[in-house]
Structures are given as C-alpha cells and as structure tokens.
Structure 1
C-alpha cells in the first residue's frame, strides 16, 4: 500500500457523533469489520489507540507497517496519516485522546510517534473498561490517564516492519511483502526495481536501520504471524515450508528472534 501525504483524507473515521461515549479528553468507538475491509489513508484530529479485541488487522503509516493481532495495539499521534486493513473479522476498539491532553501528560515525550504495544492483562482491562461503564465520566478520564502511562511502558516492536522511503528500495520492499516466501534473490529484486543489489543494501541499512537480510526475515515472520492468527492457522511445519525456511527448527529460531517466543507458544497465548 502506498502511504504518502499527497493522498490524505483529513475526515476523521469515527467522529465524536459516532463514538460509543465522549468524555471530554477521551472518546471511544467500538466497531466490527469483516475480513478484507479497509480504511483508506486518513488522519484524526485526536491521537488514537487502535486495539483488536478480536481478529488481526494491519496499520500502515509512512514509517512502516504494524501487524496488530490480539494482545497488541497501535498508538497513533494526532494528525498522523494511517490506513487500516482487516486481515480477519475484527472487533475494533478505538480510544481517541485530545491532543492537548496528550501534550499535558507526564509521558508526552514518549507519545509523539506511532508505536505498537503489547497489551498485557492490566492494559487490556483498562481499555475495555473505557467501554463498560458510562455512568461516571470521571472514571473514564482516570482510566484514560492510566492507559497513557501503561502505553509508554509496553512498547513492543515485534510486529513492526519499517518501510524505506527511497522509491527503489520501497519497490523492493513491496515485492518482498507480496512474496514473503523469499524465492527471488536480491539481485533479481533490485533489477525489477531498476537499481543494483548494492544500492538496495545501502538504502535498507540507511532508511530502516536493518540490513536487507534482517528486514526480509522480519517480513517472513510478519507473514507467519498473519497466518497463525487467522481463523484456520496452518500446522507450523507446513507454514515453515511455505515461507521458504529450510526446516521447522530454523523457522522456530527465526520466529523467536523477532517475537521472543516460538510459533506454537505465540498461538497458544493468542498472539503473544
């Protein structure tokens, strides 16, 4: 998906009139989406915490792509262009935060960029608690403030893949994401993008802080996570073969390097 500032819809998705509840500094929105639904590139006046209570989605910004399985959420600052794709049936929960409230928060410095967080039990209950009781607005504000504190302690880049900005490297990245099995070698990918393998290697290192080899490995693991979080996850052995790993052991090792756990454990924990 091409995410460029030239195609931004500034109309907020889920404005206050559609929110489950508005609490001054905080507003909530609960929605269900079918697999394949997409929210095109847009930006909100408010900061947004995007959480999948059920299902798997993908959030894309100019910085890269975040895979959002259950037990993960994405923080998006105010006016940050992003798109969201539903990779399965989704129960989406969004918390919108007034930018002035974010700026006044003691952890404001950590909330200026988008990032993924691991939603541990406490953070999950805080998020869901914002949707549960509308009788006491001050309770919602207190929950919202606690959520912001928890976010800054729970950042987890395991499901993030940075995207290079140079058009040649970006083209190579898109080719890899479209074919995560890794059949094409770097020279072939570079030729399709109209450049050299050496240039691609340099650009990936400069623009993603990852070597091309490491970036490609992460892309394969992201594809694995997407498959494992689907409604009918394949056997780990079959998935390893499909993604071009030499063995299940090699796949387990690569998966653990990125996520900190094995594919089997990842599924057992509902996405970490």
Structure 2
C-alpha cells in the first residue's frame, strides 16, 4: 500500500494521448514494482482497474482503494495520483465523456463482477482502432452498460482539510500501529479534544476512532492480497489480537479477510 515508502516507488509514465482513438480505449500494463504517477488529470473518464494487485487513487477528497474485483472511477478533470502495489496487472479503461453521461461526477469505487472482469480482459486484446459498428464496438457497448450498473462500494478514506488534522493523518499514515489518543493531539495543538473531534466530523464525516480504523483496514488490503499472515498484518495495523482485527475487518467490509480475497 502506498502510505509507507512513497519515495521508494517507481515513477510510472502517463500516456500522452491528445485524444482517445475510440470512445472506449483500453490500456494494459504489467508493473513489477510499486509504482505511482504524478498528480494529473484527463479530459476523459478513467476506470483504474487491476486484475492482480491493489490500486489506490488519491484525490484532494480522499484515498480510493481497489483490491482485485474492484475499480476506481475517476471523472474527467479530477486531479489524481495512482499508486499500485508490486506485481500489479493493470487493465484500465479510458472513456469519452460523451458515452458516460450517466456517471456520477465524483471519484468512487465500483464492484467488478465476474462478467465485467472477463469483458475487460477480452477488451484488452482488441485493436486500438476497432470497428465501432462491428463485434468489438458491440463489446465496448456491453462494457459501458455493465459499468453503468456496477454498484458503488465504500473503499474510501476521506482526507481532512484542517492543517492540524493533516498532521495527525501524516503521522498515522506512516505509523498506523501507534496508539496515540486524540487527547494527546489536543494537548500538542493546544486545543480541546472536543474541538478536534468536531473538526474530524466536519472534514471527514467520521469520528476520529472510526476514521483511524478505516485508515488501518484499508492499509491492510495490500499485505493481505500479497498473502501475508493475518496475525502479522493485524499487529502492523495496531491491533492487539488477530480476533479483534478480523472482527473490525468484518464490520468494515462485511467479510473476513479470507472471504474478502477468496
């Protein structure tokens, strides 16, 4: 997961496309190392998707995390950075706004079902300038129809805007296992704990405790996807026991770690 070791990531290039050759354009990449892009935006929609590995898209609003079977929808014009875990297999889509008028104009995570996954896999082998009136054009339309119906899921960490909360975020981002209380931070900043609690609710819509738990659990997805032991991941995230971590994971995602990555 990107939070730790951003400086060790390989910088990934951004395709210099003046325009899309077709309303739906597929891009395939194999990324052996942890990789990231600079902050950028596109005049088209981007579906950032990986059939293997974990992706994270970061905007000014938050961090959107997509393990396998999930994808991040990035509207046109939204500045963002894309992080990927080692050994990620990308199958991203670029979509002309003229064929995606049904989509919400905000970044979000989509569930990718078996059918949509196989459609995207197949589309990755289609010629760039495919016949829009032929079978490949019809395949593109089926993909768009499936994307329009794909459910949104909550795999997003809202980022605070207050400068003091941003300091808390950066500290927990680097050391999610720390048990520093909000009272500690309020003493450091010279404000009341109630003030910081109110600011967290205002900026993120979550209590500090719920926000920190989401930060930890989203950060756990990459090592879990790599096959690391649940016990080791739980300790690295600041949980005292594996059972407590699994309970929190189930509460957040509706499944145990084993079920989530099955």
Query: How would you bin the TM-score normalised by the shorter chain?
Result: 0.7 to 0.9
* Matched residue, 2:80: 82
1:244 and 2:238 are equivalent in the alignment: yes
TM-score by length of 1: 0.82
**Partner residue in 1 for 2:26:** 28
Please, which runs of 5 or more residues in structure 1 have no aligned partner?
A: 3-11
SS in 1 for 2:177: coil
- Kindly indicate whether residue 216 of structure 2 is the aligned counterpart of residue 223 of structure 1: no
Q: Deviations over 1:240-268 (max 9, x none)?
A: 2332223222111110111111012223x
Q: Which one of 126, 130, 137 corresponds to residue 132 of structure 2? A: 137
What corresponds to 2:175 in structure 1? Answer: 179
3-state DSSP of counterpart to 1:219:
helix
Aligned to 1:63: 61
The 5-angstrom pairing of residues 250-265 of structure 1 reads 250-265=244-259
Deviation for aligned residue 1:129: 2.4
Deviation at 1:193, TM superposition (A): 5.8
Q: Could you tell me how far apart the structure 2 residues matched to 1:152 and 1:166 are?
A: 35
1:33-88: CA deviation from partner (whole Å, max 9, x where unpaired): 23232101000111111111221221101110012221111110101100011222
Q: Structure 1 CA distance, aligned partners of 2:164 and 2:184?
A: 13
> Take 1:100 and 1:48, find their aligned partners in 2: how far apart are those partners?
13
Q: CA RMSD in A?
A: 2.5
**CA distance in 1: counterparts of 2:185 and 2:41, whole angstroms:** 33
Per-residue CA shift, 1:121-171, capped at 9, x if unaligned?
A: 011122222222335433444333333333343334342111112222222
The verdict on how the C-alpha distance between 1:33 and 1:247 changes in structure 2, with shifts beyond 3 A counting, is same
Per-residue deviation at 1:99? 1.7
C-alpha separation in 1, matches of 2:141 and 2:35 = 31
C-alpha separation between the residues in 2 aligned to 1:35 and 1:200? Answer: 38
Pairwise CA distance, 1:196? 4.3
**Are the aligned partners of 2:200 and 2:207 in contact in 1 as well (CA < 8 Å)?**
yes
TM-score scaled to structure 2, two decimals?
0.84
**Structure 2 equivalent of residue 13 of structure 1:** 14
CA distance in 2, matches of 1:91, 1:112: 26
1:120 to 2:113 alignment: yes
Describe the shift of the 1:86–1:125 C-alpha distance in structure 2 as closer, same or farther (beyond 3 A): same
Could you tell me which residue of structure 1 aligns to residue 8 of structure 2? none
Change (3 A) 1:77 1:237: same
- Provide Cα deviations, 1:184-243, integer angstroms capped at 9, x if missing partner: 22223345566543222111111211111111111111121121012xx32212322332
The alpha-carbon distance between structure 1 residues 16 and 264, as it changes in their structure 2 partners (threshold 3 A), is same
1:53 is matched with 51
Q: Distance in 2 between matches of 1:53 and 1:192?
A: 44
Is the CA contact 1:14–1:29 (under 8 Å) kept in the aligned structure 2? no
Q: Is the 8 A contact 1:40 1:83 kept in 2?
A: yes
Conserved 8 A contact 2:131-2:137: no
